Structure 1
Amino acid sequence: MTTVSVLIPAYNEESTILELLTKVNKVRITGVKFEILVIDDGSTDKTVALLESKPKLYTQLIKMPYNGGKGAAVKAGLRSATGDYILFQDADLEYDPADYPRLLIPVLKHQADVVMGSRFSAPDCLRVFYFWHKVGNYLITLIFNILNNTTFTDIYSCYLMFRRDLVDPDQLRTLGWDQHAEILSIATRRGRVIYEVPINYHGRTYEEGKKIRAYHVIAVVWTMFRMRIFG
């Protein structure tokens, strides 16, 4: 039996969190058991109350004492996870848990150490989103591939899965949006078998709650170079 710890950081996601968890709980894969960890990052809306009203939808609820950012929530989740693999899941419904079977194929068939979900590698469904976001994603993916000798098409997809023993949360230095690049750098450096699979994407607009900004790209590029030069 392969166990997968699904880490779901959430901040003010009252409109989507229960629907997302319902979708996660509907996933059934032979030979796979899911551990669902929700990390509330100091939400000020009804997110926590809704979660506490439906405890059967998750394995563990971790409540951060204040809003420390997604990176802090991820570190807390990594410290509590017990699965063989870690899988990141956003709480906003941009990514569909129905894609979990695709992500698990390389693990179950090829003993993959790292699996990256790609929004740009022949997805069934892709919501049209901001042009400059796609340009920024292309540039950081290109830089990452050059620095790490990889061939990813989308390094900033939410869906990153890796063997839990590849990444020590206490060694992570970043707490911002660039943490994803740090984790992927470590996982690809230590992992031997690396795969990418197509996933679907239903991106939000800024009016719907999207939080990514242009300045995040600068931090990501710096982190990628730092990881390559200093480790």
Structure 2
Amino acid sequence: MKLSIVIPCFNESATIEEVIAAVLASPVKDKEIIIVDDCSTDGTREILNEKIAPLVSKIVFHDVNQGKGAALRTGFQSATGDIVIIQDADLEYDPQEYGKLLKPILDGKADVVYGSRFAGGESHRVVYFWHMLGNEFLTFLSNAFTNINLSDMETCYKVFRKDIIDQITIEENRFGFEPEITAKVARLQCRIFEVGISYYGRTYDEGKKIGWRDGFRAIYAILKYNIFR
């Protein structure tokens, strides 16, 4: 089965080359790599054009910064594989773990797989307490409305059968994507699995972008896509 790797990217000039090298070295052979640059202004676009374009399947450039959800919407529309995985353009997640993320789908057991930073015994960098607490709260609130028992709703690593993602219209432009997609795959009654993954979290000095406003938007998205739909 062919894997589509969708990489939303915004101002990741410090990491994008290393991330693409890691994705290329991942254990999946039949794969396409789709990068969506969300109007980067730090030199990322030049790196993509000059160094990375020959190495990947497709690069799409947004003319206006819209957010991660919008970049993923563009990437999903471009994907041609049987399975789609989201890969952030930073160094927080390890492409060497694609194999175990794909296994439940390849075994015919799952439609969707979440890579959980809080399940299993993999290594994690110790970073922000309040981020962890906020993540746990948002996951709890999402679970309460969807009636599923995820441990890490906000994880980057989400894997979908392509026929599942094709049934979903992404409306959120920023980080509200995470609770939105969770609500929508739960409503489709997808078979959802979790797999424990490692995690090397970044600090804000190292380029982390998510902030408190995104937390409030996530709460809004949980209510919007679970109650008012």
Shorter-normalised TM range:
over 0.9
| Aligned-residue CA RMSD (Å) | 1.6
Indicate whether 1:28 and 2:31 are aligned: no
Alpha-carbon displacement from aligned partner over 1:109-138 (angstroms, at most 9, x marks no partner): 234100000001124210001111111011
Indicate whether 1:5 and 2:9 are aligned: no
Stretches of structure 2 that go unaligned for 5 or more consecutive residues are none
**For the residues of structure 2 that align with 1:184 and 1:62, how far apart are their CA atoms?**
25
Specify the alignment match of 1:18 in structure 2: 17
2:53 corresponds to which of 52, 55, 58: 55
% identical aligned pairs: 39
Q: CA deviation at 1:4?
A: 1.8
Indicate whether 1:39 and 2:45 are aligned: no
Q: How do residues 157-172 of structure 1 correspond to structure 2 at under 5 angstroms? A: 157-168=155-166, 171-172=169-170
**For the residues of structure 2 that align with 1:66 and 1:85, how far apart are their CA atoms?**
28
Q: How do residues 182-201 of structure 1 correspond to structure 2 at under 5 angstroms? A: 182-201=180-199
Q: Which amino acid aligns with 2:38?
A: D
Residues 90 and 123 of structure 1: CA distance in aligned 2, closer, same or farther (over 3 Å): farther
Q: How do residues 204-223 of structure 1 correspond to structure 2 at under 5 angstroms? A: 204-223=202-221
**For the residues of structure 2 that align with 1:62 and 1:123, how far apart are their CA atoms?**
36
Alpha-carbon displacement from aligned partner over 1:85-129 (angstroms, at most 9, x marks no partner): 221111011111111111011111234100000001124210001
Q: Indicate the SS of the match to 2:4.
A: strand
Q: Which amino acid aligns with 2:27?
A: R
| TM-score, reference length from structure 1 | 0.93
Residues 89 and 169 of structure 1: CA distance in aligned 2, closer, same or farther (over 3 Å): farther
Q: Is the 8 A contact 1:75 1:169 kept in 2?
A: no
Q: Which amino acid aligns with 2:17?
A: L
| TM-score, reference length from structure 2 | 0.94
Specify the alignment match of 2:126 in structure 1: 128
Residues 192 and 70 of structure 1: CA distance in aligned 2, closer, same or farther (over 3 Å): closer
Q: Is the 8 A contact 1:121 1:197 kept in 2?
A: yes
Specify the alignment match of 2:138 in structure 1: 140
Q: CA deviation at 1:191?
A: 4.4
Q: How do residues 75-94 of structure 1 correspond to structure 2 at under 5 angstroms? A: 75-94=73-92
**For the residues of structure 1 that align with 2:120 and 2:196, how far apart are their CA atoms?**
6
Q: Which amino acid aligns with 1:36?
A: I
Q: Which amino acid aligns with 2:39?
A: G
**For the residues of structure 2 that align with 1:157 and 1:132, how far apart are their CA atoms?**
16
Q: Is the 8 A contact 1:40 1:73 kept in 2?
A: yes
Stretches of structure 1 that go unaligned for 5 or more consecutive residues are none
Q: Which amino acid aligns with 1:50?
A: I
Alpha-carbon displacement from aligned partner over 1:167-216 (angstroms, at most 9, x marks no partner): 34883221121112111211232243210000110000011111111221
Q: Is the 8 A contact 1:4 1:85 kept in 2?
A: yes
**For the residues of structure 2 that align with 1:132 and 1:54, how far apart are their CA atoms?**
36
Q: Is the 8 A contact 1:117 1:160 kept in 2?
A: yes
Q: Indicate the SS of the match to 2:30.
A: strand
Q: Is the 8 A contact 2:33 2:58 kept in 1?
A: yes
**For the residues of structure 2 that align with 1:124 and 1:86, how far apart are their CA atoms?**
23
